Amino acid sequence: MTKVVKIGIVPIKRGFTDMVSALEQKYLFLNKCKEIAPEQVELVDLEGVLPEGILYADTQLDATAAFLKEQAVDAIFLPHCDFGNEEVVGRIGAMMRLPVLVWGNRDPLPTPGKRDRDTQCGTLASTKCLQRYKVPFSYIINSDVDSEMFKKGFVDFCAVAAVAKKAKGIRILQVGSRPQPFLSVMYNEDELLRRFGVEVTPYSSAILALDVKKILDERGDEVDAGVAEYAAKVDVSHMPIENQKTMQALKLAILDMVKKSKSDAVAMECWTVMGRAIGVTGCQVNGMLAEMGIPCACETDVLGAISAALLQAATLGREPIFFADITVRHAQEDNTELFWHCGPFPVALAHPNAKPSIAPAGQGAFELKNGAVTICRFDAMDSDYTFFTGEGEAVDGPAKGGTYVWVKVKDWEKWEEKLVFGPYIHHVAGAYGNYSQILCEACKYIGEVAPDPVEPVSKVLGK
C-alpha cells in the first residue's frame, strides 16, 4: 500500500514532572496511534532521537526539528503526556510550519496527596502559544485515548494533512482548450501559480491525436490488454472494436503525459474536439484514470480538477472520486438532486444492481451505489477563493442516460442558494464518505482559501 502522508509524533511533557508517568502516557498513545492509523499513513516517532523519546526542553528543539525535516514529515502531532511545555510547543510549531495536532489524554479522578497530570490545563496554554507564533493548528477535545473521539480525530487529522500536502504545488494536466461556450470554467492560471503553487501543463488535442495514433500503431499488446480488462466488467456490445481500441490508446496517451508532467489530476476537453479528432470521447477514459487514483474533470475545468484532487486526498486514496454536473431537482422529493454526467464516472463506484455499459462513442451508462457522499468545489471570483463542501446520501432514483446518482441532502434550497451566490458552477467533485469537516480544516493550512460548508462544521476534530 502506497503511503499517502507521514505524521511525526512528538510527545510533550513538562521538564519537572514525573518521567515514569510521562513514559506510561507516551507508550499508551504511541501504541494506540499505530493501531488506529490508516494503512496509507506512515508514523514517525522520536524513539532513539531524544533520550526518552519525549520533547520537554528548549535545548532539544534543534535535534527534534532536524530529525523531523530529515524524515520529511507532512504534519506533526503533539500529544501531551502531562501539563506539557507551551514554550517548546510554540517553537517546534514555528520551526516546522506544518499542520499541527494538539491533544492530551483525559486525567483520572484526583488522588489525595498526589500531583495530577493536569493535561487539559497544559493544552490550553500550548494552544495559546501556537497562536502567538501564528501557527495554525488542529485540536481534539481532552478525551480518553481509547475513546471514539480520539480515534476519529486522529484519523481525520491524517486526512487533513494529506489534503494540505496535496495542495502544495499541485500539478494539473490540461488536455485541450476549454469548450468555446463554457465561460463558467475560466480560471486565472497566473494567480493559481503565484498564490497556491498550482502548475498547469497544457497538452493540445492535435498532439494528443498524434500520440493516440502512434500508440495504436506501436503498442497493440497494451491496447488489447486494456480492451479485454474493460470488457470483463462493462457491456461493450454497442461499441465497435476499433473504438474500444482507440479509447484504450487515448487512456495510455494521457497516462503517459500524466507521468511525464508529474501531474496530480487531469482537466480534459472530453467531447467537443476529441470526438472529431480522435474518434471517441474521453468520458470513460476519465473514469478509468480516476480508478487509477488520477482524478479527472470534464470540459477542461481546471478548478474542478483541483477540487477533485483535494477531495481524493481527503479520502487517503481509499476510493476513486467522481466528477458530476448538478442537473435536476427531483420532481417529488424536494431535497433530492440528480448528480449526472454524460458518462465519465468510475465503474468501480457502480451500483451493485447496475449493469454498466458504454455507448459507441465512449460514454458510460450506469447508476452509482448508495451511501454517504461528500460534494465539493474549489472556485473563485475577483481573486477571492472559497471551498464549497456539503454532505448527503446517495439513494435510488429514476433511471437516467449516462452516469448518474441521486443525492438526498438535509436542505437542498440552502445548497442551491450557496451554489448560486458562492459563486460556483454546475461542476462538482464527489466522493463516498464524510469529508466536509476535513476539507474545511485543511483550508487553514492551504491558506488564502475560505472554507464554505453548507452546514457548519466543528472547530475541533473527532466530533
pLDDT tens per residue, range 447-457: 999 999 999 99
Q: Of 21, 164, 7, 175, which Cα lies nearest the Cα of 83?
A: 21
Q: What angle in degrees, to the nearest 10, is found between the helix axes of 148-167 and 436-446?
A: 50
Structure confidence at residue 184 (pLDDT): 84
Cis peptide before 240 (omega within 30 of 0): no
pLDDT tens per residue, range 272-317: 667 677 889 999 999 999 999 999 999 999 999 999 999 999 999 9
Distances (CA, A) of 335 to 220, 255, 407, 410: 49, 38, 8, 7
Fold of 5-167: Rossmann fold (3.40.50)
Confidence of residue 178 (pLDDT cuts 50, 70, 90): confident
> Cα 220 vs. chain centroid, distance in angstroms?
35
Structure confidence at residue 314 (pLDDT): 98
pLDDT tens per residue, range 51-75: 999 999 999 999 999 999 999 999 9
Question: Which residues are registered as beta bridge partners of 315?
Answer: none
Question: What letter does residue 240 receive in the DSSP assignment?
Answer: -
Question: Which residues are registered as beta bridge partners of 235?
Answer: 357
Structure confidence at residue 113 (pLDDT): 63
User: What percent of the chain is predicted at pLDDT more than 90?
Assistant: 91
C-alpha cell read off for 61: 528543539
Domain boundaries of the chain, sorted by first residue: 5-167, 171-453
Report the residue count for the chain: 463
Output the average pLDDT for the chain: 95
- Range 318-357 burial, b when 16+ CB lie within 10 A, else e: ebbbbbbbbebebeeeebbbbbbbbbbbbbebbbeebebb
Task: Identify each DSSP E strand in 88-165 by its residue range.
Answer: 100-104, 138-139
Q: Which of 176-180, 340-344, 370-374, 447-451 has the lowest mean pLDDT?
A: 176-180
pLDDT tens per residue, range 127-161: 999 999 999 999 999 999 999 999 999 999 999 99
Checking if the pLDDT of 370 tops 90, the result is yes
What is 171-453's CATH number, 3.80.10, 3.20.14, 3.10.620, 3.10.50?
3.20.14
- Give CA–CA dist 325/367, Å, rounded: 14
- Give CA–CA dist 296/288, Å, rounded: 9
Residues 6 or more apart in contact with residue 199 via CB below 8 angstroms: 169, 170, 171, 172, 193
Q: What is the C-alpha end-to-end distance of the chain, expressed in Å? A: 28
Angle at 405 between CA 399 and CA 407, to 5 degrees: 120
Checking if the pLDDT of 27 tops 90, the result is yes
Structure confidence at residue 275 (pLDDT): 67
pLDDT tens per residue, range 99-113: 999 999 999 887 776
pLDDT tens per residue, range 384-403: 999 999 999 999 999 999 99
